[in-house]
A = this chain, B = another copy of it.
Amino acid sequence: MSRRRAVPKEHSHRMAKPTPSLTVALLQAREAAMGFFRPLLNEHGLTEQQWRVIRILKEVPEHQLESRDLAEIACILRPSLTGVLVRLEKTGYVKRWKPANDQRRLCVSLTEEGHRLFDAMSGDMHKQYRRIKRQLGADNYKTLMALLDQLQRVEP
């Protein structure tokens, strides 16, 4: 009876979204942003998580981190990171080793391969960031980053 009248064209029947929750809004916004980068990652055969690891290692002094810290910064849980690093080592982008002074820990660093990959992707990455910034407005972008930083610090 009150069923939606079949509207064949594409999905022009997109309906009003329910009031989004904060966490859903964050997710949807991130999805929109990732849309700019996913094609580039795919071209290079990288997953999101693999790229986060490479990106973070590149920006840290000595391009080297302890697994524990890397996990926290990259928002990858330790069990997941184990596999990510195994695969990244297999493809030759990072090196793993246990520091002699503490055999519990695990250290990770970028290989030459890893550096070359990052440098090769860097240009296109920046290009996409500029496009996002243009669509959102430079001021908005700045404000958003500041608010995200604040939100990141809240705790239960």
Contact = CB atoms under 8 A, between A and B. Distances in A.
Copies of this chain present in the complex amount to 2
Interface string A43-82: 0000000001001100110000000110001110000000
A101 to B, nearest CB: 6
Chain A contact residues, majority secondary structure: helix
Nearest to A150: B136
Interface residues of A, number: 61
Contacts of A17: 73
12 contacts: A3-B101, A18-B56, A19-B59, A21-B129, A23-B30, A26-B30, A28-B152, A29-B152, A39-B156, A136-B147, A136-B151, A136-B154
